Amino acid sequence: MTAEAVAIETVRRRRSAFRFAAAPLTWIGAALIALIIVAALLAPWIAPYDPLEQSIADRLMPPSAEHLLGTDSFGRDVLSRLIHAARISLAVGVLSIALAMVAGCAIGITAGWIGGWFDSLVMGALDVLMSFPSLLLGLMVVAMLGPSLEHLVLAIAITELAPFARVARAPTLALKERDFIEAGRALGLSELRIIVVHVVPNLLGDVVVVASLWLATAIRTEASLSFIGLGVKPPTPTWGGMLREGFETILDAPWLSVAPSLAILATVLALNMIGDGLRDAVDPRLRRD
Amino acid sequence: MLGFLLRRIALAIPTLLAVMTAVFVLARVVPGDPAQVILGDQATAEALAALRQRLGVDRPLPAQYVDFLSGILRGDLGTSMVTGKSVWAEVLAVLPYTIELTLAAILLGILFGVPLGVLAATRHNRLPDALTRVLSLAGLSFPAFVSAVLLLLVFAIELRWFPVISNPRSGDLLERLQHLALPALNLGLIMTAYITRVTRSSVLGVLGEDYIRTARAKGIGRRAVLWRHALRNALIPVATVIGLYLGTMIGNSVLTEIVFNRPGLGKLILGALNQRDYTLLQGLMVIFAGFIVLANVATDLAYGLIDPRVRAR
């Protein structure tokens, strides 16, 4: 990319930031996510009951004034479990994306910076990683390591490493040829300093967009693995785990399946709305003029 | 075309080798001893040693690796530790059901996705476009098991239009279709959402090209330009997306098969996981990964068929 092209790109991005404000879907998504995050943060104060408290006398009660979303097969309050589960789902999603982002960017920048056969080797390895279906890869990793919160985060991070590496590598290749990098070298800056101070800020925008797009996938993968039974161990509530439990009694207590389904759907949809808006805002080809 | 074909296949060989190596590494990353995991803490030392020998994990890693690769080359993926049948026999017994489901979903996706995408692109920034955008985004957001559970609740449990358990082995064609309908609809909805979005953005891009303007200037009707000139170019990315989506589709079909209790590769994986059938799991992983690499090659070939410029590269 020439200096002019980069300058034009920067102007485009500034202009597109205003379009972001004009995209209603993005704002609906942002509001929805804000609501879910607040609920997760305030869970101990706003949940009407203890999410782990069992009451066999009250098991499988349909929604009522006392239990707004009913109770599950252990007599636990579904609404309270749903609110507490938001904490785990969001935490696993954010942690795994953060891990994938840091590791992926480090791999991508290193590959792009060193170039040559090393670059080809790393990119080839990432292609291999991408040829595994992400759910199956996550499933294999958790199955081999054993289900736990840490392994879940690790497994999801591994499945989502490659997109970050790719997004970080491409601009690195272009940036390392630029004059200001050469100027940095002439000034005697170390390679690491040049990368951290001059390369990383230039690709942060793209990386954040990828993160927002893949956060939805991370939360979906967490829910899917929990649904299969490879998630956080019970009785800790997670949306996927709740749906799994609800599915076992779907004929007697359908409300147990509906509540976590809608929670997962709302979160993923809201994140996709935000990611979509961000992508439209930074992708000049998708701009609506 | 033949040169392109050969080049693409030659490129796939190192990828396949690397993928198989990755499966081997993953299957051997097991913390501790697979024999211990299978037999539990109470197992005697003799039983453990015997099982280790049976699994072949008592030999040095390089020897195991060579065995593993030569097995794959001979088409031998080992035998299931639980049933004692060969992995291929286990897979082939249920593969037709998964293929049936996947093909039905792709068909539904193309049938609804392409027209919806074209509609959105030609009514750009108007109501149909906005509606399609929201609906396709919602479709993409559904984790496959969530939509499956909701479809099951509404159409099988409340309305009773379709059976709760999808049994593809049942009687005549009509009955089979009835059993296929909900699972296929579930996968097809997600597929439709993907194809709608790609078709929309692709047609939008092509409609802005100079040759479309030229065709319009020559007096060719709007419809003819769209269907004969624009769509042919616009469908290239769509073909790629279908190819790329196969990986996601496998994951989604696993979840769909679990919810509808339908036999297939998904149920096979789940069974292997629950019974700690490592050899079956490893074999399934090899088959899935190999299938994805081949699907990528097929996608590239389809690309070459649609677009002559790709062949020249």
Domain boundaries, chain A: 11-43+73-286
How high is the ipTM of this complex? 0.78
pLDDT of residue B312: 59
Contact B98, B265 (CB under 8 A): yes
Q: Which residues of A touch B247 (CB under 8 A)?
A: 131-134
The β-bridge partners of A77 are A71
Among chain B residues, CA nearest to A124: B15
- A20 pLDDT more than 60: no
- Rounded to 10°, the helix B61-73/B2-28 angle is 140
- Let me know if domain A11-43+73-286 sits in CATH 2.160.10.10: no
pLDDT of residue B86: 87
In the 8-state DSSP scheme, what is residue A62? P
Confidence of residue A100 (pLDDT cuts 50, 70, 90): very high
Q: pLDDT tens digits for A45-59?
A: 887 877 777 777 777
Contact A170, A109 (CB under 8 A): no
pLDDT of residue A102: 93
Find the mean pLDDT for residues A202-209.
82
pLDDT of residue A18: 46
Find the mean pLDDT for residues A256-271.
88
Helix, coil or strand: residue A71:
strand
pLDDT of residue A288: 44
pLDDT of residue B33: 65
Among chain A residues, CA nearest to B146: A261
pLDDT of residue A4: 55
Confidence of residue A106 (pLDDT cuts 50, 70, 90): very high
In the 8-state DSSP scheme, what is residue A178? S
The pTM is what? 0.81
- CB of A252 less than 8 A from some CB of B: no
Cis peptide leading into residue A235 (ω within 30°): yes
Helix, coil or strand: residue B183:
helix
Burial B16-36 (b: 16+ CB within 10 A, else e): bebbbebbbebbbebeeebbe
Q: How far apart are CA B272 and CA B280, in angstroms?
A: 6
- B26 and A140 within 8 Å at the Cβ level: the answer is yes
The closest alpha carbon to B263, from B143, B135, B176, belongs to B176
* Most confidently modeled range among A98-102, A162-166, B31-35, B128-132: A98-102
- A285 and B205 within 8 Å at the Cβ level: the answer is yes
- CB of A46 less than 8 A from some CB of B: no
User: Which has more pLDDT, A58 or A214?
Assistant: A214
Residues of chain B scoring pLDDT < 50 = none
- B19 and A128 within 8 Å at the Cβ level: the answer is yes
Rounded percentage of chain A residues whose pLDDT exceeds 70:
89
- Rounded to 10°, the helix A134-145/B231-259 angle is 30
- A257 and B153 within 8 Å at the Cβ level: the answer is yes
SS3 content of chain A, % helix, strand, coil (to 5): 75, 0, 20
Q: Which amino acid is at B201?
A: S
